[in-house]
């Protein structure tokens, strides 16, 4: 079956220039596209074929991917058992973290914690599962990509080890819930906001799809993850904390939709995934983006540029997942013109470092984060003048070695003369 959505003109041109259009079509026809959802399957196939044919432009991204994966080969696997503190349940297998933006009020006699948005309390990073969980998902994704592109089993073996230790081994597995995420000392043991630490499950689902065919990832492993995800998705969609995050109006809700949809697809719950993505048209795009592209809930933050990019990234990931279920969020617009394109075009002019961001941003903005989003936008909206104009502020070498070039649809910047 051919892929359910048309390939953009820039992608077809790239395939033709690399001489691999036939390989992509053959892969689509035989069902050989990797089972990934946030990443773009045709891009993965094209990149793999191009590298096999000696493609020079993709070589820096491939080399960096392998270099990063090689570092992870030396790392011991992490688990929720690594922390010293015991969750309120008394079970160390439960995930536990502290809200990062809450600080002890030095003027309060009872040591109450108060929120200071955008200011990360170093106390929250000590003895916490949050960073380990996020890193585990990212590391497994990197290793699985390295296996997919190189065929070397050592990468799959390490990815499998990381996943088994965190999710499957009885002595070290994480219980399938985040009941105690982003707790506030003296106030609450867990909040819906804690699920932001699980946003990497979208990458993990793709990692498991990339491990298909490896001797290091067995049917028992796959079955074990299906059981874990089934239990987790049940908790996510029925618990007060899980429902609270799914109902969150800002980036938290968008990222939660993405992880729920990706997990649903992993489990074969296609209709559930389609419903989640379809609802995002009204629940996310219509409510989060204004006709001029502003994201008011993110602009209200003390790091408004960073959070505007953060939520746009979540929307783009959700749009990628949508293509797997035949829902096009990329080109959806409300009657009054709200859409992902408008959000990208609103941010685009601020790629110019000389142009001041007119909202609060208490930390230095990372323009390369915006650059990657604009490259994704340019691939979808090649006729957008604001996006194309903004890309002139970036150099090809800034992204030449970015591994995302291997698995996301990104426009190509012209080489610097």
User: Do 303 and 295 form a contact (C-beta atoms < 8 A)?
Assistant: no
User: Residue 11: is its pLDDT beyond 80?
Assistant: no
pLDDT tens, residue by residue, 43-72: 999 999 999 999 889 999 999 999 999 999
Last residue of a domain, one of 247, 282, 297: 247
The reported pLDDT for the residue numbered 258 is: 98
pLDDT tens, residue by residue, 222-261: 999 999 999 999 999 999 999 999 999 999 999 999 999 9
Last residue of a domain, one of 247, 282, 310: 247
- Shared domain check, 186 and 126: yes
- Shared domain check, 87 and 177: yes
- Shared domain check, 133 and 12: no
- Shared domain check, 236 and 115: yes
User: Do 144 and 206 form a contact (C-beta atoms < 8 A)?
Assistant: yes
pLDDT > 90 in the chain, percent: 88
Q: What confidence tier does 372 reach under pLDDT thresholds 50, 70, 90?
A: very high
Last residue of a domain, one of 247, 269, 297: 247
- Shared domain check, 146 and 174: yes
- Shared domain check, 229 and 350: no
pLDDT > 70 in the chain, percent: 92
- Shared domain check, 199 and 342: no
- Shared domain check, 202 and 259: no
Give which of 184, 195, 296, 319 is closest to 249, Cα–Cα: 296
**DSSP assignment of 369-415:** HHHHHHHHHHHH-TT-HHHHHHGGGS-HHHHTT-GGGGTS--PPPPP
- Shared domain check, 192 and 143: yes
User: Do 329 and 338 form a contact (C-beta atoms < 8 A)?
Assistant: no
pLDDT tens, residue by residue, 138-172: 999 999 999 999 999 999 999 999 999 999 999 99
Instruction: Say which CATH number the domain at 190 has.
Output: 1.50.10.100
- Shared domain check, 398 and 287: yes
**DSSP assignment of 266-311:** HTT-HHHHHHHHHHHIIIIIIHH--TTS--HHHHTSTBHHHHHHHH
- Shared domain check, 389 and 263: yes
Mean pLDDT of 92-119: 95
Domains of the chain: total: 2
What domain range includes position 404? 1-74+251-417
């Amino acid at each position: 079956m051919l892929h359910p959505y048309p390939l953009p003109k820039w992608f077809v041109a790239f395939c033709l220039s690399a001489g691999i259009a036939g390989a992509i079509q053959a892969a689509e026809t035989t069902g050989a596209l990797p089972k990934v959802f946030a990443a773009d399957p045709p891009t993965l196939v094209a990149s793999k074929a191009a590298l096999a044919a000696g493609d020079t432009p993709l070589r820096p991204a491939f080399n960096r991917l392998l270099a990063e994966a090689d570092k992870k080969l030396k790392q011991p696997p992490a688990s929720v058992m690594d922390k010293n503190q015991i969750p309120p349940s008394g079970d160390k297998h439960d995930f536990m973290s502290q809200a990062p933006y809450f600080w002890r009020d030095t003027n309060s006699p009872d040591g109450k914690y108060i929120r200071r948005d955008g200011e990360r309390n170093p106390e929250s990073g000590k003895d916490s599962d949050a960073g380990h969980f996020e890193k585990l998902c990212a590391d497994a994704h990197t290793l699985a990509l390295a296996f997919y592109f190189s065929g070397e089993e050592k990468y799959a073996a390490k990815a499998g080890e990381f996943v088994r230790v965190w999710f499957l081994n009885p002595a070290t597995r994480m219980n399938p819930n985040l009941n105690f995420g982003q707790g506030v000392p003296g106030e609450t043991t867990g909040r819906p906001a804690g699920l932001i630490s699980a946003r990497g499950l979208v990458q993990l689902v793709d990692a498991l799809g990339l491990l298909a065919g490896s001797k290091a990832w067995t049917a028992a492993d796959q079955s074990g993850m299906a059981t874990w995800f089934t239990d987790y998705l049940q908790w996510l969609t029925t618990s007060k904390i899980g429902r609270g995050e799914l109902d969150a109006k800002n980036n938290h809700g968008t990222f939660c939709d993405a992880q729920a949809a990706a997990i649903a697809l992993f489990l074969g719950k296609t209709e559930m995934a389609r419903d989640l993505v379809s609802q995002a048209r009204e629940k996310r795009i219509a409510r989060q983006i204004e006709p001029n592209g502003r994201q008011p809930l993110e602009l209200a933050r003390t790091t408004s540029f960073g959070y505007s990019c953060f939520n746009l990234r979540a929307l783009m990931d959700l749009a990628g997942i949508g293509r797997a279920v035949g829902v096009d969020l990329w080109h959806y617009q409300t009657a009054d013109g709200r859409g992902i394109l408008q959000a990208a075009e609103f941010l685009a002019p601020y790629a110019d470092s000389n142009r001041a961001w007119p909202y609060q941003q208490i930390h230095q903005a990372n323009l390369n984060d915006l650059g990657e989003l604009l490259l994704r936008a340019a691939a979808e909206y090649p006729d957008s003048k604001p996006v194309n104009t903004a890309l002139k502020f970036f150099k090809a070498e800034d992204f030449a070695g970015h591994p995302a070039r291997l698995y996301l649809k990104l426009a190509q910047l012209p080489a610097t003369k």
